[in-house]
Amino acid sequence: MNRPQTTDRRPSSVVRRPSSGFLKAIAAIVWKDLAAELRSRELLSAMLVFALLVILIFNFALELDPVTRRMATPGILWATFAFAGTLGLNRSMAVEKDRGCLDGLLLAPVDRSAIYFGKTISNLAFMLIVEVVVLPVYSVLYNTNLFNPGLIVVILLGSVGYVAVGTLLSSMAVQTRTRDVLLPILLFPVVIPILIAAVKASSGFLQGLSLTEVMPYINLLIVYDVIFTAVAYMVFDYVVEE
């Protein structure tokens, strides 16, 4: 008689142990988000389609000749990433709240900051996946070569900072009445240094400026990332406690 395949194939890192280590907890949360996303694909598809639509809108909003468009590329890219990132941050936290996952995570005997780092890393993964798709599409649609190692570094640093603050603020926003609407209002004023530095650094790399000219902006990105990851790590407890 054939037995139906019902064995639990979850990796052991997801199975709860009484005192999971800090890193194991982070890995578990990241794995949970990625696995859930792999099955449903609702978050990534929404973010991707939205990003592509934003690029489409920019094409009509800014009717540019090729030369001016080349100069506007970093701005368009980062505006796209910022809006799509908001979408991802909102959905990621809303899912946790609605399905009671957040309460479950809070009951687990791990440091609260593990939840923060786990969510931040998974949000970062989603944002990077969207960026990895958008770059080639933009390159093809606008006949611009965006495969520039400096640009990749800037996108990475900018995304880290964006997601570090975004995860903290979306944890707050999701617990209010206004929810989704509130996150962009809270996030965008605070994340402006990233946008400034990322656009300028991206522009510098795409125009082939020397590293010394671009370094101030890279430094700004790194400083911002470090400061805000530290601040978010320290205050996350206050945001999720009951």
Partner 1 sequence: MKPQPMVLKVLNVVSVLLFLAALGMVFLYAPLEATMNYVQKIFYFHIATAWVGMLGFIAAAVAGVLYLIKHDQKWDIVELAAVEISLVFFLIAIAAGSIWARPTWGAYWTWEPRLTTAAILEMIYIAYLLLRQGIDDPDRRARFSAVYTLVGAISVPITFMSIRLFRTIHPVVIGTNSAASQGSFDMTSKMLATMFFALFAFSVIFVNLFWHRIRLGQLAQQVEQLKLEELQ
177, 208, 210, 212: which one binds partner 1 (CB under 8 A): 177
| Closer to partner 1 by Cβ: residue 49 or 71 | 71
| Closer to partner 1 by Cβ: residue 28 or 173 | 173
Residue 132, CA distances (Å) to 48, 128, 152, 208, 212 in order: 10, 6, 9, 21, 27
* Residue 168 in contact with partner 1, rule: CB under 8 A: yes
For the chain, the three-class secondary structure string (H helix, E strand, C coil) is: CCCCCCCCCCCCCCCCCCCCCHHHHHHHHHHHHHHHHHHHCHHHHHHHHHHHHHHHHHHHHCCCCHHHHHHHHHHHHHHHHHHHHHHHHHHHHHHHHHCCHHHHHHHCCCCHHHHHHHHHHHHHHHHHHHHHHHHHHHHHHHCCCCCCHHHHHHHHHHHHHHHHHHHHHHHHHCCCCCHHHHHHHHHHHHCHHHHHHHHHHHHHHHCCCCHHHHHHHHHHHHHHHHHHHHHHHHHHHHHHCC
The two tokens of residue 176 are 């209010």
Q: Which of the stretches 34-42, 62-70, 121-129, 226-234 binds partner 1 when contact is defined by CB under 8 A?
A: 226-234
Nearest distance, CB of residue 9 and partner 1, angstroms: 39
Nearest distance, CB of residue 174 and partner 1, angstroms: 11
* Residue 128 in contact with partner 1, rule: CB under 8 A: no
The two tokens of residue 103 are 């309460």
| Closer to partner 1 by Cβ: residue 20 or 159 | 159
* Residue 3 in contact with partner 1, rule: CB under 8 A: no
* Residue 228 in contact with partner 1, rule: CB under 8 A: yes
Q: Are 50 and 87 in contact (CB under 8 A)?
A: yes
| Closer to partner 1 by Cβ: residue 138 or 236 | 236
76, 169, 206, 218: which one binds partner 1 (CB under 8 A): 169
Nearest distance, CB of residue 80 and partner 1, angstroms: 20
The site string for partner 1 over 183-222 (x = CB under 8 A, - otherwise) reads: --xx-xxxxxx--xx--x------------x--xx--x--
* Residue 68 in contact with partner 1, rule: CB under 8 A: no
| Closer to partner 1 by Cβ: residue 63 or 241 | 241
The two tokens of residue 33 are 């988000």
Binding site for partner 1 (CB under 8 A): 165, 168-169, 172-173, 175-179, 182, 185-186, 188-193, 196-197, 200, 213, 216-217, 220, 223-224, 227-228, 231-232, 235, 238-239, 241
